[in-house]
A = this chain, B = another copy of it.
Amino acid sequence: MQELGGTKQAIFEAAVNLFARDNYHHVSVRQIAKTVGIMASSIYNHYASKEAILLDIYDYFDTNMARLMPDLGTLMQMAETAHPHDVLRATTVVYPQAIVPTMAKAMLVTASMTSSDPRAEDLIHRNLIEMPYLYDIPLLNKMMDLDRIEPLDAESFALMHSCYCHSAAVRFYGSHGIDTDTWIRGMELLFGRVVVKQPAHA
């Protein structure tokens, strides 16, 4: 990962910005260097290759996701008492404000590589697709077991939830952005499928 300040971080940030805007394949090492204000060859004092910069971006995305992902154990406890919709809301990863811009771009870069790099595909799959899936199913099952919600096809619900997060994440910062309010209302509409039996806790 990148340290604080210095040329290496400048390279990282130039790269993440350029890759997010113009795609990895269309950005040359020379362009990155020009943005930083150095010669292309100097890049190689900090990164072994262009690909190494990309891997660093993947790593930034993956590390922060792992760090910020809610703990399933905590959520499972929440499932016993909290409002079922709140439990589902809590499965969403929330980035600290400070890293939002870089995370958004790192995610976009990783997502843009899914069709040409299996490593990126695995990262996106694991973090954006499989994750909501793996969280929702045990949570919903537990709440059904506790008779806190009406019976529901947890698997289909989880698929819908993960597709929604995935599509939105990929589109959020593309040319055709998604309106955040509409997105949240959509999510609430989906949560409406989870019908609470015992209304919100005390």
A residues apposed to B, CB below 8 Å: 23, 25-26, 108, 111-112, 114-116, 118, 121, 125, 129-130, 153, 155-157, 159-160, 162-164, 166-168, 171, 174-176, 178, 182-183, 185-186, 188-190, 192-193
* The residue from B111, B115, B174, B186 contacting A23, defined by CB atoms under 8 A apart: B115
Where chain A touches its partner, the secondary structure class is: helix
Inter-chain contacts of A171 with B (CB < 8 A):
129, 163, 166
A129 touches B189 (CB 8 A): no
- Check A164/B160 contact, CB under 8 A, given A25-B116, A116-B26, A155-B185: yes
Known: A25-B25, A192-B193. A159 touches B183 (CB 8 A): yes
Please, which residue of chain B has its CB at the minimum distance from the CB of A157? B189
Are A167 and B163 also in contact (CB < 8 A) when A121-B175, A176-B129, A193-B193 are? yes
Bound Cα distance A186, B192 (Å): 14
- B160 near A189 with CB under 8 A, answer yes
Interface hub of A23, A160, A166 (most chain B Cβ within 10 A): A160
Q: Kindly report how many copies of this chain are found in the complex they form together.
A: 2
Known A-B contacts A159-B182, A164-B163, A189-B156; the reply to A175 vs B129 at CB < 8 A is no
Taking the nearest CB of chain B, how far is it from the CB of A159, in angstroms?
Answer: 5
CA distance A108 to B176 in the complex (A): 19
Contact of A175 among B118, B153, B189, B192 (CB under 8 A): B118
B189 & A193 in contact (Cβ 8 Å cutoff) = yes
A193 to B193, CA, bound (A): 7
Contact yes or no, A159 B175, CB < 8 A: no
A63 to chain B, nearest CB (A): 22
Q: Which residue of B lies closest to A188 (CB)?
A: B156
Instruction: Give the top 4 A-B pairs by smallest Cβ distance, nearest first.
Output: A112-B115, A163-B167, A23-B116, A156-B186
* CB pair B163 A168 closer than 8 Å: yes
| B-chain residues with CB within 8 Å of residue A159 when the two chains form the complex | 178, 182-183, 186
